[in-house]
Structure 1
Amino acid sequence: MPQLVFVNLPVTDLPRARAFYAALGFGFDERFSDDTAACVVVSEQINMMLLTREKFAAFAPRPVGDPASACSVLVALSRASRKEVDAFMTAGLGAGGTDNGSFQDFGFMYARSISDPDGNVLEPMWMDVGAYEGTLGQEIAAAVDA
């Protein structure tokens, strides 16, 4: 039986957050959505729960941080191509996101970084796993570890 993953993100303005994620092309599972939460469908097994700060606090074992001032989670979302990574960024920027200026291009992997309007960090990325598993990946891994 497939297991589901729910990534929970605190938001200050739920309608604004819904509009941002809809602009990125994501759908919503309304069964798990109400005026305090929106369930963003990433894939058949992965969802992101956009929770008002109050609702998020009800689940959190510690005080809720402010993603606008501190980064605690990087949500990497694979795309099918470099072009789709760039399209994700363009859509997100047009919907009120902020380009974090992070750009990685290792040949076999291409990644960028955007914050949603609340400061939660999303990293759209593309990777050619076959190229990574070959010599190129070993060389890049050695360079990154150095």
Structure 2
Amino acid sequence: MTKMIFVNLPVRDLPVARTFYEAVGATNNPQFTDETAACMVFSETINVMLLTHAKWATFTTKPISDAHKAGEVMLALSCDSRDAVDAMVDAAGKAGGIADCNPLQDYGFMLNRSFQDPDGHVWEAVWMDPQGMPAHG
């Protein structure tokens, strides 16, 4: 079986978060969605579980950090092209997130732009051409 990842994120407003993730390219899996959670699918192996704060509290007793004030995690999603990176980050900004919350990194063979979702979780949209990477040695 292929390994999958389910990124679990606490969100303040589930409908707002779901709309945001749809705007940046995820689709909703209704099989794992209800009034407390939404499963947002980026690929066959990448899923983001958006959890209300009440639902989140059923999984851990740790307090929910305010991602607007403190770093918690930075998640990177690969994109098929430089244009796809730009489209994802631009869509994030238009959908209520913050585009380019970290400095753009453009190395020619690799482009990395970041954005925050409405809850402050940081994502990177990354494109890389492995054939263009500098040789090590």
User: What interval of TM-score do these two structures reach, taking the shorter chain for normalisation?
Assistant: over 0.9
TM-score (norm 1): 0.87
Deviation above 4 Å: which 4+ runs of structure 1? none
CA contact (8 A) 2:25 2:42 kept: no
User: 2:28, 2:42 → 1: CA distance?
Assistant: 9
- The aligned residue for residue 54 of structure 1 is 54
- The aligned residue for residue 110 of structure 1 is 111
SS at match of 1:55: helix
User: 1:129, 1:54 → 2: CA distance?
Assistant: 43
Unaligned stretches of 5+ residues in structure 1: 140-146
Count of residue pairs the alignment pairs up: 136
Q: Any idea what the Cα deviations from partners look like across 1:92-140, whole Å, max 9, x if unmatched?
A: 11101112042101111100110001101110110112222x42xx38x
- The aligned residue for residue 74 of structure 2 is 74
Which amino acid is 1:105 matched to? D
User: 2:2, 2:87 → 1: CA distance?
Assistant: 30
Which amino acid is 1:45 matched to? T
User: 1:97, 1:64 → 2: CA distance?
Assistant: 19
SS at match of 2:57: helix
Whose Rg is larger?
Answer: 1
SS at match of 1:6: strand
- The aligned residue for residue 142 of structure 1 is none
SS at match of 1:21: helix
Which amino acid is 2:120 matched to? G
Which amino acid is 2:110 matched to? M
User: 2:46, 2:65 → 1: CA distance?
Assistant: 23
Percent of pairs with identical residues: 49
- The aligned residue for residue 130 of structure 1 is 131
**Aligned residues: CA RMSD:** 1.4
User: 2:50, 2:32 → 1: CA distance?
Assistant: 10
Q: Which runs of structure 2 are paired with 1:84-99 in the superposition (5 Å)?
A: 84-99=84-99
Which amino acid is 1:107 matched to? G
Unaligned stretches of 5+ residues in structure 2: none
Q: Any idea what the Cα deviations from partners look like across 1:62-102, whole Å, max 9, x if unmatched?
A: 22211111111111011001111001111111101112042
TM-score (norm 2): 0.92
